Amino acid sequence: MNLNTQPYKGTRDFYPEDMRLRNYMFDKWREVCRSFGYEEYDGPILEPLELYAAKTSEEIVNEQSYSFTDRGDRKVIMRPEMTPTVSRMVAAKRQELGYPLRLFSIPNCFRYERPQKGRLREFWQLNADIFGVEGIEADIEMIQLADSIMKSFGAKDGSYEIRINSRKILNEYFEKSGAGDLGKVIRLVDKYEKLTDDKFHEELNKLVKNPNPILDILSGNIFDIRIDEFKKSLKKFGVDVIYDPKIARGFDYYTDIVFEVFDTNPDNNRSMFGGGRYDGLVGQFGVDPVPTVGFGMGDLTFENFLRANDLVPELKNSTDLVLITIGDVFTEASKLAGELRQKGLNVSLDATDRKIDKKIKAADKQGVEYVLFVGETELKAQKFNLKNLKTGKEIELTSLNDIYKKLRE
């Protein structure tokens, strides 16, 4: 029986073409994060299950986790998100690290969900976090960073919007409502857009004694000076944000400001990514608490945004040139390739004994722009024909330097 060539459900194969786009996205994420002074870190994909049981959403851990028992009887989980890992890492070196500590990572994460547009079982996520800043400066910087990332890809003003809210304010109103389980109310609010009004009220009535304070704050008609000042501060940096009391974020660990970045395209008007302040996680490891603000930005929704807004540039094969041999000149052609590499070019060699037009077709299939023909005649005369596969134009070159210059034009 033949083996199946399909990847495991909900995961992707990245062929070179796909990988070029992924690298383009990830490299730019890295570049912007570094420009704000963030340094890259990484952690293991496998973590003890108990790390997530505490503060990640119940739904993710109980229904969507890839968790199992290892050969040594430890309960482990393939990370569904990165925040618990980075909190653990900071706690482990609480005293040795300098603050404000700015960290970013691009981990892949795993959730057992029904695969759909913008949602798969394996996905990547930029995580940026700032540790050790109690003041609102950290919240401001995090939203600035998110905004700068959007702009660095060429996203236009108006093509996305940033909505903010405060868990602290939400909680104050929830308490006035006599909510028994704040987490459950948060998760209900997080699903607000997906429920009918009737359904929302019905569910809310099950969770609280008096729904009115919650309905008041969700109406958006309540003015809060804290939100107002936060908006004004961001405005000073040219970042406009919208107050949206229904922004709750699914995770349990947020403690104050939360934000989400929305795609404003009417065909795809959805939250793309978000984050907020979570001051309580590091302290769970038995060390002094560290105030923290961060966000996570998934690759799938972001790629959809780039495509929908026509922001994916043409991405070329990294190979500058294929040397195509004519006849039995493998050794000589291979040496020539080595010399061109020394000059800084990316050069591959097709020394198979197929016909020349087959070789040209193969290079073209791979998206390489130039081929150079190398046979005994060419080597003797030190004259080589360089062909541009896009334009079809062919020119004769007589030195390595000329080849190098032509390709670096």
Q: For residue 96, state whether it binds a second copy (rule: CB under 8 A).
A: yes
Contact criterion met (CB below 8 Å) for 366 and 346: no
Question: Which residue type is seen at 291?
Answer: P
Return the number of other C-beta atoms located less than 10 Å from residue 72's C-beta: 6
Q: Assess 400 for contact with a second copy (CB under 8 A).
A: no
Compare residues 180 and 238 and give the one whose CB is closer to a second copy: 238
Least distance to a second copy, CB of residue 313, Å: 17
35 vs 269 by CB, closer to a second copy: 35
Rounded least distance, CB 96 to a second copy, Å? 8
Footprint on residues 120-149 left by a second copy (CB under 8 A): 121-122, 132-135, 137, 140-141, 144
**Where in 22-81 is the site for a second copy (CB under 8 A)?**
22-23, 34-48, 50-51, 54, 66, 68, 70-72, 74, 76, 78
Query: Which of positions 281-300 make contact with a second copy (CB under 8 A)?
Result: 284-286
372 binds a second copy (CB under 8 A): no
**194 is a contact residue toward a second copy (CB under 8 A):** no
Any alpha helices (H) in 74-224, and if so which ranges?
Answer: 83-92, 137-152, 167-176, 182-190, 197-207, 212-219
For residue 237, what are the CA distances in angstroms to 231, 234, 242, 361? Answer: 10, 5, 15, 52
Nearer to a second copy, 215 or 349 (CB): 349
Closest to 386 (Cα-Cα) out of 407, 368, 367, 372 = 372
Question: According to the binding rule CB under 8 A, does residue 220 interact with a second copy?
Answer: no
With binding defined as CB under 8 A, does residue 267 bind a second copy? no
Binds a second copy by CB under 8 A, chosen from 158, 331, 357, 392:
331
- Between CA 101 and CA 38 the distance in angstroms is 8
3 versus 225: smaller Cβ distance to a second copy = 3
Q: Does 102 bind a second copy (CB under 8 A)?
A: yes
Segment interacting with a second copy, rule: CB under 8 A, options 219-227, 278-286, 298-306, 401-409: 278-286
Among residues 101, 143, 146, 306, which is the contact residue for a second copy, using CB under 8 A? 101
CB of 254 to a second copy, least distance (A): 18
Neighbours of 397 (CB within 10 A): 18
115 binds a second copy (CB under 8 A): no
Note whether 14 binds a second copy by CB under 8 A. Answer: yes
Residue pointed to by tokens 């060390």: 287
Q: Is residue 93 within the footprint of a second copy (CB under 8 A)?
A: yes
| Beta-carbon count within 10 A of 235 CB | 11
Residue 25 or 78: which CB sits closer to a second copy? Answer: 78
Position 355 contacts a second copy (CB under 8 A):
no
- Is 250 a binding residue for a second copy by CB under 8 A? The answer is no
The answer to whether the CB of 119 falls within 8 A of the CB of 113 is yes
- 8 Å CB contact between 340 and 294: no
Asked whether position 216 contacts a second copy by CB under 8 A, the answer is: no
For residues 273 and 275, give the distance between their C-alpha atoms in angstroms, rounded to a whole number: 7
> What is the number of other CB atoms lying within 10 angstroms of the CB of residue 110?
22
- In 55-117, which ranges are E strands? 66-69, 75-78, 101-105, 108-110
Q: Does 6 bind a second copy (CB under 8 A)?
A: yes
**Nearer residue to a second copy within complex by CB, 193 or 328:** 328
Instruction: Give the total of residues touching a second copy (CB under 8 A).
Output: 101
| Alpha carbon separation from 61 to 9, 86, 87, 98, 185 (Å, rounded) | 20, 18, 18, 32, 18
d(CA 229, CA 10): 43
Among 139, 147, 260, 350, binds a second copy (CB under 8 A): 350
